Amino acid sequence: MNALAGFSRRRFLKSSAAGVLAAGAAARAEAQERPNILWITSEDNGPFLGCYGDAFATTPNLDRLASEGVLYENAFANAPVCAPARSTILTGMYACSMGTHHMRSRYAIPEFIRPYPDFLREAGYYCANQKKTDYNIRMDDKAPWDECSVRATYRQRKPGQPFFAIINLGVTHESSIHKTQETTKHDPAGVSLPPYHPDTPEIRHDWAQYYDKIETLDGQVGEILERLESDGLAGDTIVFYYSDHGGVVCRSKRFVYDSGTHVPMMVRFPKNYQHLAPGKPGTRTDRLVSFVDLAPTLLSLAGVKVPGYMQGEAFLGGQQRPPREYVYLFRGRMDERYDMMRAVRDKRFKYIRNYMPHRIYGQYLQYLWKAPSTRSWEAEFKAGRCNEAQRIFWGTKPPEEVYDTSADPWEVNNLADDPVYVDVLKRMRAANRKWVREIRDPGFIPEGEMVELSEGKTSFDLVREPSFPLDRIIETAEMATLRDPALLPELRLRLDDEQASVRFWAATGCAVLGEQAKAAEGLLCGLLTDDCGDVRVAAAEAVHGLGERTRALDVLSAELKNPNSKVALRAANVLEALGAASAAALPAIEAVHETTTDDYVKRAALRLLSQLKPQ
């Protein structure tokens, strides 16, 4: 190397180092200019707060937070239960587009779908989560975070480093009413009961106890805000508060009614970042927002580019999108019970599509039945003491539901058959059909079949393969669950379809029709030996309704031993629906209860045993 070359190299290295230092300083300065963001989240509570007009609630701290920020009147959890809701929040993707919509399923998702903390950390944020994860995705739940524990806090960041932190408060969780307090602060006599709840001491007590937990939650929020103030960070921190879904007394959590999906949400912008706020302190907005929008909104506020694959839409920050016309909601398997609902909500109306209308709303769930209020409601129904609104929960479903939430906030008056609302029905039905196709919803594949088809790939990728007939599957599901006997000829043709999920829905349609599907009996009997377990189970339920009880129960008993636990669980669900007629399957039920390693199958079997062999 000659002297000139050496000089040039040294000058280059020196100038490069100076450039790196300058770039690093600029990056640090930019990072310091970015807002800190704190999410305070609670569990299982709807907007039972004074700032939402609930005079029975005792919530001075949350009411003050609302007066200092912007209150969202139309914020919704896309799923009415924790794990699918959090899966949606973490990714900015509808859980039912990734196959992570079934409760506690932990299926894989494509690698390109990344948790939002990844993007924040790459931009220089310190990300702390205290401590709830429950993401329902096959991953290391702590991996996206700098710290994820009961001790995680923004205080652990580097000096001057912006932070994003979550503090999750579990005091209002459903389990809080499983054990009955002897006395409550809130007087049970003062509770205003929903019209669907009978007036019993247990129900009143659970509601009053729940309001006590809301008051405790409010105190915890106050402590967090005081700590932020004492740390000198309140002037640089945007604070969100929201609940992870609705709840908690029966017919709220797990159900796509507003009682299960409408959540409190408020955002406080400090003076330094008031320019990012959509309104002055104390503003209320009726803008529709939902959990799928939280990740892109967070990135937008932090000045981080929102990935193009995210299905959510930022509602704050430099990348915010125009207001939504609809939010979209979904329900899949809830623990040990299969059900399937999709819903569309605008600012006034709610549309619900029931894809399992032959199942009652109030399917037994071991966890839900731990609440005294749930058991009390069931007892009232069995004793014949419920009125019409209170009986609905214990019956099968209509294919479609439409509610005017302004006039009927508890959603008990179904307007789907009212000619006055036919245009609303058609508009929102079309919106649902468009949505499930656009997101390529793999929820239309029965779970046992989805597990097998997704071996070596994700269900997200599966339904996007050009040859995969998802549109035909959805079309069959829509036909099958309308309870329209005029569609039986087409369903009969689809019983012989080459795609198992199409056969499953065609057989399910025959089960929904019951005796009106008699013309399909021969084809259904042929499906009892189908190569797909979910199809065999659906066909068995249909032929049982047509009088072939022995053959049906033999198939269902055999499927309880299926190594695919999701098929076994579906068989147990059908046996539960058949009631006392399932007694012939008792030996198989007892055997699976003793041998299964799947907790949900064990729960379903235990329930069957308690019903068929009462102590």
Q: Tens digit of pLDDT for each residue in 154-172? A: 999 999 999 999 999 999 9
- CA–CA distance from 40 to each of 183, 225, 276 (Å)? 29, 10, 19
Q: CB count, 10 Å around CB of 22?
A: 10
* 307 and 448 co-located in one domain: no
Per-residue pLDDT, 172: 98
CB of 316 closer than 8 Å to CB of 300: yes
The reply to whether 306 falls in a domain is yes
As a whole number of angstroms, the distance between CA 606 and CA 608 comes to: 5
Is the predicted pLDDT of residue 615 greater than 90, yes or no?
A: no
Count Cα atoms within 13 angstroms, Cβ side, for 68.
18
Tens-digit pLDDT profile for residues 345-370: 999 999 999 999 999 999 999 999 99
The reply to whether 226 falls in a domain is yes
Among 323, 350, 368, which residue terminates a domain? 323
As a whole number of angstroms, the distance between CA 196 and CA 523 comes to: 41
What is the separation, in whole angstroms, between the first and last Cα of the chain? 94
As a whole number of angstroms, the distance between CA 206 and CA 26 comes to: 55
Per-residue pLDDT, 64: 98
Phi, psi of 265 (to 5 degrees): -150, 130
CB of 520 closer than 8 Å to CB of 510: yes
The residues pairing with 237 across neighbouring beta strands, listed in sequence order, are: 36
CB of 256 closer than 8 Å to CB of 361: no
CB of 531 closer than 8 Å to CB of 559: no
CB of 336 closer than 8 Å to CB of 365: yes
Q: Which residue has the tokens 């999906």?
A: 261
Among 270, 305, 323, which residue terminates a domain? 323
Residues noted as catalytic: 82
Average of per-residue pLDDT values in the chain: 94
The reply to whether 247 falls in a domain is yes
Per-residue pLDDT, 16: 39
Per-residue pLDDT, 521: 98
Q: Where would I find the beta strands (DSSP E) of 193-312?
A: 237-243, 262-268, 283-290
CATH number at residue 123: 3.40.720.10
The reply to whether 162 falls in a domain is yes
Tens-digit pLDDT profile for residues 191-224: 999 999 999 999 999 999 999 999 999 999 999 9
Residue of 610, 168, 584, 120 whose CA lies nearest to 364: 610
Tens-digit pLDDT profile for residues 474-507: 999 999 999 999 999 999 999 999 999 999 999 9
Number of domains in the chain: 2
Confidence category of residue 614, pLDDT binned at 50, 70, 90: confident
- pTM listed for this prediction: 0.94
The reply to whether 146 falls in a domain is yes
* 316 and 447 co-located in one domain: no
* 302 and 448 co-located in one domain: no
> Checking phi first, is residue 282 left (phi over 0); if not, alpha (psi -120 to 50) or beta?
left
Helix (H) or strand (E) holding 609: helix 599-612
Question: How would you classify the pairing of strands 262-268 and 36-42?
Answer: unpaired
The reply to whether 51 falls in a domain is yes
Share of the chain above pLDDT 70, in %: 95
Q: Where would I find the beta strands (DSSP E) of 340-416?
A: 341-345, 349-354, 400-404
Q: Is 420 exposed, middle or buried (0-12, 13-18, 19+ CB in 10 A)?
A: exposed
Per-residue pLDDT, 331: 98
Average pLDDT of the residues in 461-485 = 98
The reply to whether 555 falls in a domain is no
The reply to whether 170 falls in a domain is yes
Phi, psi of 313 (to 5 degrees): -130, 125
Average pLDDT of the residues in 498-518 = 98
Residue of 328, 310, 327 whose CA lies nearest to 319: 310
Is the predicted pLDDT of residue 19 greater than 80, yes or no?
A: no
Per-residue pLDDT, 29: 41
DSSP letter, residue 334: B
CB of 495 closer than 8 Å to CB of 476: no
Tens-digit pLDDT profile for residues 368-413: 999 999 999 999 999 999 999 999 999 999 999 999 999 999 999 9
Q: Which domain holds residue 270?
A: 35-323
Average pLDDT of the residues in 566-576 = 98
Is the predicted pLDDT of residue 25 greater than 90, yes or no?
A: no
Is the predicted pLDDT of residue 142 greater than 70, yes or no?
A: yes
Per-residue pLDDT, 247: 94
Among 298, 323, 348, which residue terminates a domain? 323
Tens-digit pLDDT profile for residues 221-245: 999 999 999 999 999 999 999 999 9
* 311 and 448 co-located in one domain: no
